[in-house]
Structure 1
Amino acid sequence: MLLQAACVLLTACLPLATAGPVSRPKAGFDWSSTKALIAFGDSYTYVQGTHGHQNFSFIGDQFNLAYTSETLLTNKIVQNQTATAEGGPNWVEFLTKCGIKEGLTSPQSCKKQLWDFAFAGADISTEYTPLHHNFTVSLVDQVNQFKQYGHPALKHTIKSQLTLIAIWIGINDINDSAQYAVDFPTFYKSITDALFDSVEDLYGLGYKNYLFMNLPPLDRTPGNQAKSSPSPNATQVEWYNSALAEHAAAFAGKHKDAEVMLFDAHARLGAILDEPAKYGIVNTTNFCPGYDQPDIAVNYENYGCPTPLDKYFWFNSGHMTSHVHQVLAEEVEDWLRR
C-alpha cells in the first residue's frame, strides 16, 4: 500500500525491476540551466579534494569538520587513479563535466560547478550502523557540516534555485547491517527516516531540487555472485529501495515547491549487467586483481587481467569501474533533460 502511494505522489513510477526512472523530472525542471550540483553520499560519489582526507573526501573529516569559506572556495578536485573509488572519474564528475581531466580543477571554473561533500565509507547515521573509521563522516554529519560551513561559504557563489542536490547513500548501510537480527523493512524505514531528516535540513536552507539514486544490484557483486546465499540479497536491496521511494514520495507530497527526482540506478545497472556487450563490457563476474597498481592502465596483462579495466563492470569487490559510472551518468543526464 505504501509503495502504491509512493507511485501516486511522484510524477511517474516504474517497478524497480524494470529499466528506467522511478520518478521523472517535472516540466519546470531545466537541467541545462542548472549551474551547480551539491553531492552527498559514500564512495560511489566521493571525489578527492586538495583539502580532503586522502582517499576519502573533498574536504575535511570527522576530526576536521570546520573550515573557512576561503578553504572551501580554493579547494580543488583532484583527478588521478586514486582520486575516486573507481579508478577514474565517477558519475557526478561525468554528469557535471567537472573534474574529469587529469590534475586539479576548481569547481568554480566549471560550467556546472561540482561541490562534493560525500565521504568514502559513509553510512547514513551512527544511530544504526558504526563508522567504518573514526574519521568517517556519516551522511547526517555531512549535512550538518554543510549547514555550518558549506552553505555559508557557497550562498554568495551559487544560487539555490539553480542548484541540484544529489544524494546516493545506503550502500554501506545495507552491507553493514545485512546480518543484523532485525525486521529489515522496518529497519530500512528507520534508516531512511534519518536520511530524510537531513534532507529536511537542506530544504530549510532553501534548496528545492533533489536527485536521489537508489541502490545498485549489490546482490550481484563479484563476491555475492560466487555465493549460494548472497549478502545482502536481492530482497533486502528491494526493501531498501522501496523505503527510499516511499520517503521520496512523502517528501515530494509535503513540499509541493520542491523538485524530487528518484533515478532507478538499480534497474539501469542491472540492465548493463544483463547485456554488457552493448556497453563494451566483457567481464561482469569478477574484477582485475591489479586494479590499484600504478601501471594498470597499460600493463594490465602483467596482473593476470586479459582486458583493460574499462572492459570490466566491477572495479574491485564493491565498486564499479569509471567506465560504468560514465555510462550511468550519460543516462542520468539524458533523463534529466527530458
Structure 2
Amino acid sequence: MLLPLLLPLALASLTTTSPAPLAPKTVHPFNWASTKHLIAFGDSYTFVQGTTGHPNYSFIGDNLAPAFTPQQLLSNRIVQNLTGTAEGGPNWIELLTNCGAREGLTSPLRCARQLWDFAYAGANTLEDASFTPLHHAHTVSLTAQIAQFKSYGDPALTQSGVIRQGKKGSDVLVALWIGINDINDLASLRGRNATFAPLYERVQSRQFELVEQLYDLGYRHFLFLNLPPLDRGPSPNVNASMVSTFNDILKEHADEWQAQHMDASVLLFDVNTVLNGVLDEYEKYGFTNVTGYCAAYNQPDIRTDPGKYGCKPLREYFWYNSGHLTSRTHEIFTASLLEFLKGRSRA
C-alpha cells in the first residue's frame, strides 16, 4: 500500500517549500514639491506662537492643559511678531513652509503648504525628572508632544479631512528638531567630565521610539536636524566634542531606523556643518557680530531702532541671544535645507 510512503513525502514537501513572498509595502517616495503639510515637533528653535498657545512657548496648549478640540486647533492662528518665535522674527519652519512668516496672524489652513507646529520652547526629549527635569510645570517634552498629538492633533487633522488618512504617507512631512536642551541640561546637571555618550544614546533611543509611534499612525516621511554649533555660542555650556558625539549618535539611530523601515524616508539635515561654514565666512553673509548678541534683543522697538540701545541691526548678528540664532541665521540655513529637500525628492 503506497499511502504510508506517500504521506511522509507529502509532509516533507510542505515543510521544505518556501512560503509565497509577502507583497512589498506600498512606498510613496518623498517629494518636497508634492508635500502639502508639515507637522513639527521640538523645542524653542522650532516653536511658533499660536493665538491659543502658551505665550512665548507654544502654538497650542501646554503641559497643564494639553487637550484641545478640533475646532480650537483648526481656528488657531500663527502669530508673527518680535516674540512670535525665539528668534525675533520668522524661524526655519515658517520660512521653509512660507506659512506664518509674514507679520500678523496666519491660519495654517490658508497656507499652500500647511504648518502644524506642536513644538514647545524649553522642551527636552524624555519625560523623566531624574534625567532632565522639566524647565517649568507647563513645559511639554517631546514625549508629551507626541502623546498630545496622538490624542488630539492627529484625530483633529484626519477626522476633519485636513489630512486624509490615505495621504499621510505621501503628502505630509514630519519634522523633529530636538536635543538642544538635552545636551545643555545634561552638561549642567552632570558636569563636563561626565561620560555623555550613554546619556545621548538614551535620548536618541527615546526619540526613535516616538518616531515609531508616528509611523504607526501612518506617517512615512521624517525630517531631522542635528545640533547647531552650540560650542561656538556667546556663552557655551558644551564643547565641540560633545556636540559631535551627540550628532554622531543621532545619525547612527537615524540610519538604523531607516534600515528597519524601508517604506519610510529618513531625511537628516546636517545644519551643524552648514552653520559652521557660515561662522567661518560670516562676512560673506552680512554678519558683523558672530560671538555676541544685542543685549536689548527683547525690547519692543529693537527691530526699528537698534541704535537706541547701542546695537547694530539684528540681521547683522548670528546669535539672537545667549542660546538662540537670529531670524537671519534661520533664513540662511533654511535656504540650504530647501535645496537638501529638493535633492532628496523622488518622483
Give yes or no for TM over 0.5: yes
1:197 to 187, 205, 209: 209
- Secondary structure of the residue aligned to 2:50 is coil
Structure 2 CA distance for aligned equivalents of residues 267 and 64 of structure 1 = 38
Indicate whether 1:72 and 2:77 are aligned: no
Structure 2 CA distance for aligned equivalents of residues 259 and 199 of structure 1 = 12
- Secondary structure of the residue aligned to 2:49 is coil
- Structure 1 counterpart of 2:286: 280
- Secondary structure of the residue aligned to 1:121 is coil
Deviation at 1:89, TM superposition (A): 0.5
Deviation beyond 4 Å, 4+ runs, structure 1: none
2:326 to 321, 326, 331: 321
**For the aligned residues, what is the CA RMSD?**
1.3
Indicate whether 1:211 and 2:211 are aligned: no
For residues 293-333 of structure 1, give each alpha carbon's deviation from its aligned partner in whole angstroms, at most 9, with x where no partner exists.
Answer: 1111121111111x200110000001000011111111101
Structure 2 CA distance for aligned equivalents of residues 218 and 47 of structure 1 = 21
Structure 1 CA distance for aligned equivalents of residues 330 and 123 of structure 2 = 19
Query: How many corresponding residue pairs?
Result: 306
2:172 to 142, 163, 166: 163
For residues 93-138 of structure 1, give each alpha carbon's deviation from its aligned partner in whole angstroms, at most 9, with x where no partner exists.
Answer: 0000000111110001001000000000000013220000010000
- Structure 2 counterpart of 1:308: 313
- Structure 2 counterpart of 1:28: 29
User: Is the 2:92–2:334 contact (alpha carbons within 8 Å) kept by the matching residues of 1?
Assistant: yes
TM-score under structure 1 length normalisation: 0.89
Indicate whether 1:267 and 2:273 are aligned: yes
- Range with greater deviation from structure 2 (255-264 or 275-284): 275-284
2:305 to 275, 299, 306: 299
Give unmatched runs, 5+ long, in structure 2: 1-26
TM-score under structure 2 length normalisation: 0.86
- Structure 2 counterpart of 1:246: 252
User: Is the 1:289–1:304 contact (alpha carbons within 8 Å) kept by the matching residues of 2?
Assistant: no
How has the CA–CA distance of structure 1 residues 294 and 33 changed in structure 2, closer, same or farther, with 3 Å as cutoff? same
Deviation at 1:35, TM superposition (A): 0.2
Deviation at 1:27, TM superposition (A): 10
Deviation at 1:183, TM superposition (A): 2.1
For residues 6-85 of structure 1, what are the structure 2 equivalents within 5 Å? 28-85=29-86
Structure 1 CA distance for aligned equivalents of residues 68 and 301 of structure 2 = 35
Deviation at 1:191, TM superposition (A): 1.0
- Secondary structure of the residue aligned to 1:337 is helix
Structure 2 CA distance for aligned equivalents of residues 266 and 69 of structure 1 = 37
1:142 to 138, 141, 145: 145
Higher normalized contact order (CA 8 Å, seq sep 6+, divided by chain length): 1
Structure 2 CA distance for aligned equivalents of residues 314 and 178 of structure 1 = 21
- Range with greater deviation from structure 2 (293-302 or 181-190): 181-190
Structure 1 CA distance for aligned equivalents of residues 28 and 326 of structure 2 = 33
User: Is the 1:36–1:114 contact (alpha carbons within 8 Å) kept by the matching residues of 2?
Assistant: yes
- Structure 2 counterpart of 1:93: 94
Structure 2 CA distance for aligned equivalents of residues 222 and 183 of structure 1 = 25
Deviation at 1:64, TM superposition (A): 0.8
Deviation at 1:29, TM superposition (A): 2.1
- Structure 2 counterpart of 1:6: none
- Structure 1 counterpart of 2:12: none
Structure 1 CA distance for aligned equivalents of residues 181 and 247 of structure 2 = 14
Give unmatched runs, 5+ long, in structure 1: 1-25, 225-230
Identical counterparts, % of pairs:
53
- Structure 1 counterpart of 2:11: none
What amino acid sits opposite 1:147 in the alignment? K
